[in-house]
Amino acid sequence: MRKLLATTALAAVALMALSGCSTRTDTTGGSTAAAGFPADSVIGVALPSKTSENWVLAGGLFEDGLKTAGFKGDVQYAGASTTVKDQQDQISAMVTNGAKVIIIGAADGGQLGTQVKAAKDAGATVIAYDRLILNTPDVDYYVAYDNFKVGELQGQALLDGLKSRKAAGPYNIELFSGSSDDANSAVFFNGAMSVLQPKIDDGTLVVASGQTDIKQTATAGWKAENAQSRMDSLLTSTYGDKALDGVLSPNDTLARAIITSVKAAGKPIPVVTGQDSEVESVKSIMAGEQYSTINKDTRLLVAQAIKMAQALQKGEAVDVNDTKSYDNGVKIVPAYLLPPVIVTKANAAEAYANDPKLAPLTK
């Protein structure tokens, strides 16, 4: 899967109306009537395990937002040990319970084909939330932040941070990516590498370990301990008498683990990127340790997903703003993409001005 267009090239799509009924785009570019359903119907929300603050926040927001909208919300988290099996069973139960819409933050986007087919066969609409569901025609919509753009912003932040500390390269860097079972991991990484690879090619950036392939850089389960262990090994094998200038980290949890490893080794903290605006990372940024994060306001993303469910309930067209970029291996999934925002110490106060949890941390 690859992201073909950045946010600035997104095309708005006008969904047609036939015989007075709103319509939605199908897999072939045609349309099927959206008949609507009762206002108090069950809306299922299947989320992965609670690996980050944003997933924890999302669950509560969905519960409250669906209730306010008049739906019967069925919000489930997969367990930490049998994550994929848990989610498969939870989605199956939502289908059995008559959910009209199932919103899925995939634990593993490549292992839900059977469950989403059953959902479609039962007449439910499937919305992929944050993570694309792969290799199936049975996902109707995708709602997420522009994840390729997230990677681009992380790559540029790494370059900017390096230049702020030392005017010219070469700079020694290391690359980290997310869990290989998360479809977003490759999108983040490819976005970042679209910015970083030219600088690697011209010698400005040097990946001293030589580990540049996503299989080498992956962090199983997005677990902090796995990132810390890999950073420990890299420091021992590669940076005995060599300076580490920067690290591409795909999210805040891993960024903090990488910084912990560097501190334990007694080395200066490099420029480290992140994502998710987690409280501890915002504190770290304000303290001058972690260099950057990405603000992807979960409140806005959940609200957009619920807005999609409301449109479906009323039999109205579902709002999408990208119909070209997200190929799940079988179809281009119509998407609504929100714009991510890069945050450093310099703009944190502005970026979080409307966030009651994070704004006080920037003062």
Distance between CA atoms of residues 161 and 96, nearest Å? 51
Q: Considering the entire predicted model, what is its pTM?
A: 0.82
Please, how many CA atoms are within 13 Å of residue 280, restricted to the half-sphere of its CB? Answer: 12
pLDDT tens digits, residue range 65-104? 999 999 999 999 998 777 899 999 999 999 999 999 999 9
Q: Report how far residue 136's alpha carbon sits from residue 152's, in angstroms, rounded to the nearest whole number.
A: 27
* Structure-model confidence comparison of residues 10 and 58, the more confident one: 58
The span from the CA of 44 to the CA of 97, in Å, is 9
Where is pLDDT greater, at 35 or 161?
161
Closest listed residue to residue 161, CA positions, set 324, 337, 288: 288
Distance of CA 350 to the CA centre of its chain: 22
Higher pLDDT, 53 or 328: 328
Contact 46, 76 (CB under 8 A): yes
Q: Where are the alpha helices (DSSP H) in 202-344?
A: 214-217, 224-238, 252-264, 279-286, 298-314
Distance between CA atoms of residues 228 and 222, nearest Å: 11
| Ordered domains of the chain (ranges, CATH) | 7-139+297-338 (3.40.50.2300), 147-296+344-362 (3.40.50.2300)
At residue 20 the predicted structure's pLDDT band, cuts being 50, 70 and 90, is very low
Per-residue pLDDT at 33 exceeds 70: no
Residue 209: which residues within 8 A CB-CB, separation 6 or more?
174, 234, 237, 238
Nearest-angstrom CA–CA distance, 191 and 154: 8
